[in-house]
């Protein structure tokens, strides 16, 4: 399990706790309003982490060679540890672009080492 997936799981536990407290008769309406506010903040955080987890998985462009319908070939190259990934676009000509992130899904292609 990745750190992001673990954090999502922790958010789920916290959100469940707030939802249980909101249904309880132990707390005043003022306290419940604060619980609701905090729960809503955790819901937003959890959704942001879910989006991050989806980006980290990557897409069909950055996980394997992808053949576009218009004869464009987009590849991720790592020739050695010091070289950055590149996107090679072929059609009538060729363009090679060094990149740190996938242009389609935004997944980071280089490590921070």
pLDDT > 90? residue 44: yes
HEC sequence for the chain: CCHHHHHHHHHHHHHHHHHHHHHCCCCCHHHHHHHHHHHHHHHHHHHHHHHHHHHHHCCHHHHCCEECCCCCEECECCCCCCCCCEEEEECCCEEEEECCECCCCCCECCCCC
pLDDT given for residue 12 in this prediction: 97
- Contact (CB, 8 A) for 14 and 6: no
61-113 pLDDT per residue, tens: 776 655 544 444 444 444 444 556 666 666 676 666 677 777 778 887 766 55
* pTM beyond 0.75, yes or no: no
């Amino acid at each position: 399990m990745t750190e992001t997936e673990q954090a999502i799981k922790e958010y789920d536990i916290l959100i469940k706790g707030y939802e249980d407290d909101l249904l309880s008769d132990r707390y005043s309406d003022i306290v419940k309003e604060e619980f609701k506010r905090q729960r809503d903040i955790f819901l937003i955080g959890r959704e942001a982490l879910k989006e991050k987890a989806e980006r980290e998985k990557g897409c069909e462009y950055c996980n394997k060679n992808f053949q576009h319908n218009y004869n464009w070939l987009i590849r991720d190259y790592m020739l050695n540890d010091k070289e950055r990934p590149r996107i090679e676009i072929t059609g009538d000509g060729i363009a090679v672009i060094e990149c740190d992130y996938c242009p389609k899904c935004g997944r980071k292609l280089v490590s921070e080492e």
